[in-house]
Structure 1
Amino acid sequence: MSVQHSGGGQPGRTLALLWRNRLPAAKPEATKPPLGRKPTLHLDAVVDAAIALADERGLAAASMNGVAKTLGVGTMTLYTYVPSKDELLDLMVDQVLGERELPGPGEERPSDWREQIELYSDQTRAMFGRHPWLGRISTVRPPIGPGMLSGREYLLSALFGIGLPPNEVNTAALAITTYVDSAAGLEAESDQIERITGQTHDAWWHERNDLWETYFDVDRYPTMTAIWYAEGYGEGTREVAAESYRFGLDRLLDGIQSLTPQISREIQAGS
């Protein structure tokens, strides 16, 4: 499965489409039907159909032809609403990013900053679980729409009041995004493989047990062997993955917390 990239559309056109519902006075030309014809669709319906196709059959199914067929229109008609697959991909990504139930400015949220990050983690993992195709899209150049910016604002606001300088607030937020989003994408891909194949990962490993009996050299891999004899590999792949995620997130937040002025003073006082 190849990775696709967001952010490839024409900038002005893409921004107008992404922000179409936030700036009602500025209607993007791409959403207007040809002169003399009554509109048969709404852009929101196009995006919804593309997401539903990708959810059900994978990202490749959400082609311009596939979406047009689902909506019962010609492909050329679809192009009057969204100019290309590049813009459609950005619209799909930003819409699912906006599904996360993250409190906005002035809305009630957990009082502790770590609990706020936990909420971001839970909502993001659930989002990838609903839309596993999202893990096949690189957002190195993200769709700069309301869904993306809402998530970014939430993370920054969770970290802004804990005493870090602004540049470290930004860096910490990027570190959290990188960890949570990457792990959530891998988790969604893992679940999707199990659904597609009908085989659990533990069963897949069990079929390859001959590796350990025939090919594995304990002298070449002494550390792996020592951990095995110490029962350090856990009960199953799913449980180990959950523990690994929890361990990584906790250590990341511990590291951020250690940089806050109060924690720094406590460390200095104890030394």
Structure 2
Amino acid sequence: MAAERSGGGDPVRTLALLWRRPPEPKPVGRKPKVSVDQIVTAAIAVADREGLGAMSMARVAQELGVGTMSLYGHVPGKAELIDLMADTVLQERDLTPVGTWRERVQHYADRTRAVYRKHPWMRDVSMVRPPLGPGLMDGQEFVLAALADSGLEPRQITVAHVAIEGFVHSAAASEVDDQQLEEKTGESGDSWWGARQVFWDDYFDVERYPTMTSLWHSGAYDTGGTLSDNVRSSFDYGLAKLLDGIEGGLR
């Protein structure tokens, strides 16, 4: 499916919903059938089970057992709902500021990765124009505070923050690609590669790809783990080297 994107709804209404300002008024007369929180929770549940492509206002209304029009009095449409969903799951991160600045950034990365694994549909949400809600902003404050404690200059802090955010979200999104494919096809990444052993036996040209061949014979690809293990190792390696580079700016 084509990626959805955050930040596509009415900005005034979206921001009011993200921050619950004003909060939903107490009902006068007949009690409303649903609330914003119930709508968001149901939408996340649908996306978790069926994918973001299956999530629509009508499908969420069905999940809640109400008419579709009952939702529009609370949430204007799907664009605003996607912002609410993404920011809500980002609030699941337990961002406790403990340890060195590097340990805190690693904690942020691990918790963000966990959110993507729990909610793989986040892979299908482009957040180039992000939902400016508490989930996103709390995460940004956490990373900026860690970097501020590192001793970097103010401009270095903001540049490093952008680099970290880009790496963490991109790497976490790429990781769940294999998870989604396994769920859809019933075939693991390891099984998929195993079925293509014939490529290495009959098609791979050692003279055309001498660097790969040399690395193969040196044992560089003998990780001894599953594809998921290798992805995790690459994630940790990439983040560590990124932080090494940032730390180099202190010298």
Q: CA deviation at 1:100?
A: 0.5
1:246 counterpart = 2:236 = yes
Aligned-CA RMSD value: 1.7
Aligned residue among 151, 158, 168 for 1:163 = 151
After superposition, what is the alpha-carbon deviation per residue over 1:117-171, rounded to whole angstroms, capped at 9, x for unaligned?
A: 1110111111111100001100000000111100000000001122211111011
Number of the residue aligned with 1:49: 42
Asked if structure 1 preserves the Cα contact closer than 8 Å seen for 2:182 and 2:188, the reply is yes
Q: Could you give the per-residue CA deviations for residues 192-232 of structure 1, whole angstroms, max 9, x where no partner exists? A: 22233222211101111111122211111111111111111
The one-letter code of the counterpart of 1:18 is L
- Corresponding letter in the other structure for 1:131: H
User: Mapping of 1:31-180 within 5 angstroms?
Assistant: 37-103=30-96, 109-180=97-168
User: Using the alignment, how far apart are the partners of 2:45 and 2:86 within structure 1?
Assistant: 12
Cα deviation for residue 189 of structure 1 reads 2.1
- Per mean C-alpha deviation after superposition, the further-off stretch among 81-90 and 211-220 is 211-220
Quote the Cα distance in structure 2 between the aligned partners of 1:16 and 1:243: 40
Q: Is the 8 A contact 1:32 1:80 kept in 2?
A: no
Secondary structure class of the residue paired with 2:146: helix
Structure-1 residue corresponding to 2:8: 8
Q: 1:38, CA displacement in angstroms?
A: 3.2
Instruction: Check conservation: 1:33, 1:81, Cα contact below 8 A.
Output: no
2:38 partner amino acid: A
User: Sequence identity, in percent?
Assistant: 48
Structure 1 counterpart of 2:210, one-letter code? P
1:166-205 aligned at under 5 Å gives the runs: 166-205=154-193
Structure number, greater radius of gyration: 1
Structure 1: how far apart are the matches of 2:200 and 2:118?
Answer: 36
Q: Corresponding residue for 1:257? A: 247
Unaligned runs of 5+ in 2: none
Structure 1 residue identity aligned to 2:235: Y
Aligned partner letter, 1:52: A
* Cα distance between partner residues in 1 of 2:204 and 2:151: 50
Cα distance between partner residues in 2 of 1:212 and 1:143: 45
- What is the total number of aligned residue pairs between the two structures? 249
- Inter-CA distance 110–247: structure 2 relative to 1 (3 Å threshold): same
**TM-score with structure 2 setting the length:** 0.94
Structure 1 unmatched ranges of 5 or more: 104-108, 265-271
**CA displacement at 1:238 relative to structure 2:** 2.5
Residue identity opposite 1:84 in structure 2: G
2:7 touches 2:129 (CA, 8 Å); kept in 1? Answer: yes
